Amino acid sequence: MAKLKNIVKQLSEKDFKAIYDSLIESNAEKSAYLLKALRERQLSDSKIMVELEVNANAYYTLRSRLNQKIEEHLLEQMESPRTDILRKVANLNEVLFTKKRTISIATLKKLEKELIDYDLANELTVVYKSLKKIHINSPEHFTYSQLYNRHVAYMLAVDKAEDLLAEYFKKYGSYLLSGDETEKMGLVLLMKEMQNVAHLYESHRLYVYQSCMLIHHRLFVETEDSMEGESIEDIFDHVQKIFDNYNLDPLYYHLNLVFEFLKLEYYNHYKVYRQAEKYFEEVNDAIANLLVNYPHYTFPAQVLVSKIERCLRLGTENELYAENESLFIDFEPDTLDVPRHTVFTMYRALSSYYVGKYEESAKIINTLLNEVSLKKYPFAQMEVKTLLALQYCMLNDFELFNQLANSIQRQIRLFGKHACENILYFIKILKIAVSESKKDKRKKISQLVPKLQGVKVNYFAPTLLIRMDDKFVDSLVSL
């Protein structure tokens, strides 16, 4: 809430009036009231909810939509001068074929300066190509030929960096579900290739792309901080300066969310939770947008894992289910992106589990197993099935539980106990829970819980996102 309030208060009078009038014209009176209340009055969230006569979920949705409306307006203001330049480039032939040579050169030189300011490499090649032609009989032809060649090469380097970024996060998804060392080696090689491309030019854009990958790599792949170079905090500062200097660049406007997310993960990684909270609200508000629109620049599904871990830390896991209704109102799952879809589905299943909706949770997990093939990711498949087995236990469907548990145990024997110790302990706990023997059931489960909690794995493990407190043990003992 604080973030939105700050944004509203920092709006210019002109922007505030334009947004307010737009909301009134579109009959969004409640959003308009919220906008005015945040700017002109010092009201708490609860007071605003009373005045608007809305519950917490409706208020959350209202706030998110207002935030989106403000972003759209600011983006339109940002796009207009840039769009004007692009239109001039598109109409260059009109100038070249109808104006005198001196006017054409002056126009091209002016466009060159504007395009450099906006860092529009693709359009710069068009300008240099035109300047090269005009100066074909002049000594300057060589200069513009060199500039043209250089910018074509730079443009290809930027394209290459974008491709590497997308490929890296696709491969990271496979690594997360498999924990495979070959996948990890592939990530290390992609990281090195990105660094080589970024070092070809003194380019802020290549630096930003490299930073998206490098920070994630240090936090989730090579976590020993053995990599040389700038510290992560120095990288954040450098990127922020770039964003400030190129504040009219639409790409940077959107990538700001990626770096807010990375800051959240950075402070979570080092357990500096007070600092992490500064970034949580903004990232959480944009969570659906992050999941859908940013998979080529980061691995957004990680925020769902971090969110559950945060709730377990704060004891608020039972609030996830109600919040999901407003958070993911416009979210469309993509079953083709198996890693992202798997993490998202398990997040939903856990949200249902934590409010006692075991049947719903089981249905969500079964749908996942029917929609996507996890054969490539046997450990992830076992994790998903183990969580399903827990739901069957809670539903007292012991026949389905035994079928599933036996299937999981066969897989454990194939890979070896040490490869998936957490799953082994979890199944043992559930087997004890459903056994007919009541003797020492609590003691046996209580002895296995710390062993399970002590296991560290390098793949996505929703079994480690289950709160295993006295209440959990009680529920199993009572089966």
Dump pLDDT digits (tens) for 310-344: 999 999 999 999 999 888 877 888 999 999 999 99
* Average pLDDT over every residue of 119-130: 91
Write the DSSP symbol of residue 53. Answer: T
- Higher-confidence residue: 7 or 259? 259
pLDDT score, position 382: 97
pLDDT score, position 56: 77
Tokens of 11: 């709006």
pLDDT score, position 128: 96
Is residue 1 over pLDDT 60? no
Q: Among 202, 190, 214, which residue's Cα sits nearest to residue 154?
A: 202
Q: How confident is the model at residue 269 (pLDDT cuts 50, 70, 90)?
A: very high
Lowest mean pLDDT segment, chosen from 49-53, 90-94, 449-453: 49-53
Q: Among 405, 380, 406, which residue's Cα sits nearest to residue 464?
A: 380
Lowest mean pLDDT segment, chosen from 18-32, 166-180, 182-196: 18-32
For residue 372, the number of C-alpha atoms closer than 13 Å in the C-beta half-sphere is 23
Phi, psi of 27 (to 5 degrees): 60, 30
Dump pLDDT digits (tens) for 373-411: 999 999 999 999 999 999 999 999 999 999 999 999 999
Dump pLDDT digits (tens) for 143-176: 999 999 999 999 999 999 999 999 999 999 999 9
Query: Model pTM?
Result: 0.83
> Which stretch of DSSP H or E encloses residue 181?
helix 181-198
Q: At what angle do helices 441-453 and 421-434 cross, to 10 degrees?
A: 170
Dump pLDDT digits (tens) for 244-264: 998 878 899 899 999 999 999
pLDDT score, position 224: 65
pLDDT score, position 6: 67
Q: Report in angstroms the alpha-carbon separations of 12 from 39, 190, 338, 378.
A: 11, 44, 44, 55
Other beta carbons less than 10 A from residue 476's beta carbon: 21
CA 350, CA 345: separation in Å to the nearest integer? Answer: 9
